[in-house]
């Protein structure tokens, strides 16, 4: 029922410990509600306008986990201006998300935008 890309990223998702609160160069954003079972916390380490590393926490279905893992891979090494133009439609297309899972892509985009906004 899941397509190959989604499955790949779902299986690939691994846990890394988050950076300690207040680490220089780390920006983070939360989207969704833990209580409603759909929530992400995205943290990125930025230096010289480049995203060097992404870490996250996620509560949600397989699509959300796969999407956040995908964005981890996609954003690592990218510039902030690439992150800025990331949009949900693009994510839906690369991952082949079904229409009712559009919200997963939107949540990620919202998190990325929140982070970008903190850097300017």
**Distance (Å, rounded) from C-alpha 42 to C-alpha 71?**
10
Q: Which residues on adjacent β-strands are paired with residue 41?
A: 30, 57
- Tell which positions 16-55 bind other proteins, by CB under 8 A: 18, 36-37, 41
Candidate list 1, 24, 85, 120; residue touching other proteins; CB under 8 A: 1
How many residues touch other proteins (CB under 8 A)? 22
Judged by DSSP in three states, 2 sits in coil
- Residue 59 makes contact with other proteins by CB under 8 A: yes
Candidate list 5, 50, 61, 113; residue touching other proteins; CB under 8 A: 61
* Min CB(4)–other proteins separation in Å: 12
**Distance (Å, rounded) from C-alpha 116 to C-alpha 109?**
10
Candidate list 29, 58, 71, 88; residue touching other proteins; CB under 8 A: 58
8 token code pair? 């790949």
DSSP 85-119: T--HHHHHHHHT--GGGHHHHHHHHHHHHHHHHHH
**Per-residue binding letters, 88-107, with other proteins (x by CB under 8 A):** ------------x-------
**Distance (Å, rounded) from C-alpha 79 to C-alpha 83?**
7
DSSP character at residue 60: S
Nearer to other proteins, 2 or 102 (CB): 2
Q: Which residues bind other proteins (CB under 8 A)?
A: 1-2, 6-7, 10-11, 13-15, 18, 36-37, 41, 57-62, 64-65, 100
């Amino acid at each position: 029922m899941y397509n190959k890309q989604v499955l790949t990223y779902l299986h690939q998702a691994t846990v890394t410990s988050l950076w300690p609160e207040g680490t220089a160069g780390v920006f983070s954003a939360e989207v969704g509600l833990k209580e409603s079972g759909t929530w992400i916390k995205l943290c990125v380490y930025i230096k010289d306008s480049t995203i060097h590393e992404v870490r996250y926490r996620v509560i949600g279905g397989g699509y959300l986990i796969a999407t956040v893992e995908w964005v981890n891979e996609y954003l690592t090494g990218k510039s902030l201006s690439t992150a800025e133009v990331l949009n949900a439609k693009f994510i839906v297309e690369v991952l082949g998300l079904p229409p009712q899972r559009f919200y997963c892509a939107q949540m990620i985009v919202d998190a990325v935008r929140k982070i970008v906004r903190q850097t300017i």
